[in-house]
A = this chain, B = another copy of it.
Amino acid sequence: MPGRKKPTMPPATPAKAATINDIARLSGVSKKTVSRIINQSPLVRKDTRERVEALMREVGYAPDPMARGLAFRKSFLIGMVYDNPTAQYIVDMQYGVLDALRESAFELVVHPCDTRSPGYIDGVRRFVQQQKLHGVILVPRASEDQALADMLDEIGCRYTRVASVALGSNSSQQVITHDRDGAAEAADYLLSLGHRDIALITGPSAYRSTYERTNGFVEALRRRGLELPPERICEAGYTFESGVAAAEKLLLGSKQRPTAIFTGNDEMAAGVYRVSMRAGIQIPRELSVVGYDDSPLASRLWPPLTSVRRQTRDTGRTAAAMLIQPEDAKTLSVASVRPHLIVRDSCQPPAN
């Protein structure tokens, strides 16, 4: 043969993927029947269904989400809307959502935002409408903004809210994390160790979780007959630095130090550790500390921090599962994920 010209291989694109038409033709049914099978319609004879499904598996057919989305006027995308500053929380939530989406036709598209910026609701609206999202998962603090929820209702977008307590007036799907109970467990634990002079560093008041954790803690103490004086409650901002400032006020500002501190999250507990270190206050011998989140940080600190675990991945999984269940199966409208205390080495009975 003249020349060494190789037979022209078709370039990178291997055999074009099968379409609904190929499946219909090869299995001898109409494309409408194939469509019924894709969409799990019961109106297909069992043997037809099985024959077609076998063919789909054989050729590796998967319906095109864009074509389906165009016809449905709705995409197969789930949005996650959040402005939480804690990386581990966000990543855990994403993992949970993806757990629920696996084996489904849905994918996760992320949308961080800043709930304090004026245009953020419009940003979410554009995101939802342009992508024709199937639904969105709202994570605190975005989930607590009623104006956001109202906007989503108005444009007819499904959503699931993750919230520290059952929220609001309308019937939106929710996953409740019962922060009140988690904080109460922390309170009971400190009381059981014998602490009576306890202080509290809260998150910012703009967060509903702050309200829940604060009240859960205060009321649990009250149930056991202990009233927390106002000067033992210090509002901070969920950040390390704000935790440092609050701890300074609590530990260095007054003659009488509390024997235990509960903080609204682990970051602020790290702030308490920092101040204690600097001031030579020994944890747990002179000061017991309990955090909230059970983040990786909790076990990196020394001594390892006792903290309330949130089961964030479960929360994300549940939220996504609720969102993608069929419209008619309205079984799940409110779900719960319960926190619980993880005891490590940051607490002991008070010294005296």
B107–A108 touching, CB < 8 Å: no
Residue A154 is within 8 A (CB to CB) of chain B in the complex: yes
Minimum CB–CB distance for A324 against chain B, Å: 15
List residues 66-123 of chain A with CB under 8 A from any CB of chain B.
Answer: 66-67, 69-70, 75, 77, 87-88, 90-92, 94-95, 98, 107-110, 112
Name which residue of chain B comes closest to A13, CB basis: B156
- The reply to whether the CB of A274 lies closer than 8 angstroms to some CB of chain B is yes
Within 8 A of B (CB), among A319-334: none
Taking the nearest CB of chain B, how far is it from the CB of A31, in angstroms? 16
Flag the segment in A170-178, A215-223, A226-234, A294-302 that touches B.
Answer: A294-302
Contact with B along A43-70 (1 / 0, CB 8 A): 0000000000000000000101111011
- Cβ-defined partner of A107 (8 Å) among B109, B270, B277: B109
Copies per assembly: 2
Q: Verify if A131 is at the interface (C-beta below 8 Å from B).
A: yes
Most-contacted residue by chain B among A17, A64, A129, A154 (CB, 10 A):
A64
Instruction: Name the B residues within 8 Å of A1 (CB-CB).
Output: none
Residue in chain B with minimal CB distance to A74:
B66
What does DSSP make chain A's interface, helix, strand, loop or mixed? helix
Q: Which residues of B contact A127 (CB under 8 A)?
A: 107
Q: Give the distance in Å from the alpha carbon of A98 to the alpha carbon of B111 in the complex.
A: 8
Q: Which residues of B contact A300 (CB under 8 A)?
A: 240, 267, 270, 274, 297, 300-301
The reply to whether the CB of A153 lies closer than 8 angstroms to some CB of chain B is yes
Which B residues touch A17, using CB under 8 A? Answer: 129
Chain B residue at minimal CB-CB distance from A273: B302
- Whether the pair B131, A12 counts as a contact (CB closer than 8 A) is no
Q: Which residues of B contact A108 (CB under 8 A)?
A: 109-110
Contact partner of A155 among B12, B87, B154, B267, CB < 8 A?
B12
Query: How many Å lie between the Cα of A124 and that of B64 in the bound state?
Result: 16
Taken together as a complex, chains A and B put the C-alpha atoms of A240 and B153 apart, in Å, by 45
Chain A residues in the interface with B (C-beta under 8 A): 11-14, 17, 62, 64-67, 69-70, 75, 77, 87-88, 90-92, 94-95, 98, 107-110, 112, 126-127, 129-132, 153-156, 240, 267, 270, 273-274, 277, 296-297, 299-302
